[in-house]
Amino acid sequence: MRQVYADTSYWIALLNHTDHLHAAAVKKTRTLGGHVLVMSEAVLIELLNYASRVPEFRDLAARKVRVALEHPEMDIVPLSHEAFLDALGLYEARGDKEYSLTDCLSMKIMEDRGITDVLTADQHFAQAGFTALLT
């Protein structure tokens, strides 16, 4: 199965019906049959952090994360000290960019797995040579 990375902006767009990317995220989701969605636990942490500020999203986000953790077509990469250090190395090496540590972790996972497509509108991924599917 083909792998596609799912960034935090994708999950936020699906969760928040008023997000400017909501329609694009829903439309793209309909085309993902036969794909495995890959993400790190850090992406889920970012999603839950975002939702914690909006009471009506908090429970919904927690339910979506629980579903993702059990879904057979979602591969959630656990955090590890080694992955943290790899991401930190990229973060330090790319001081000319505004990559977050979570972006760096995601990029390292994508690089390690040969994933080129990412469900995001974050142009940092395009800067790094990946294809952002929500632009």
H or E element at residue 129: none
Range of the domain at 77: 2-132
Q: State the pLDDT at residue 56.
A: 82
| Pairwise CA distance, residues 102 & 82, whole Å | 14
Q: State the pLDDT at residue 125.
A: 97
Q: State the pLDDT at residue 135.
A: 79
| pTM (global) more than 0.75 | yes
Q: Which residues pair with 16 in a beta bridge?
A: none
Amino acid residing at 33: G
CATH of residue 97's domain is: 3.40.50.1010
Domain count, the chain: 1
Q: Which residues of the chain have pLDDT under 50?
A: none
DSSP assigned state of 110: H
Burial of 39 (0-12, 13-18, 19+ CB in 10 A): buried
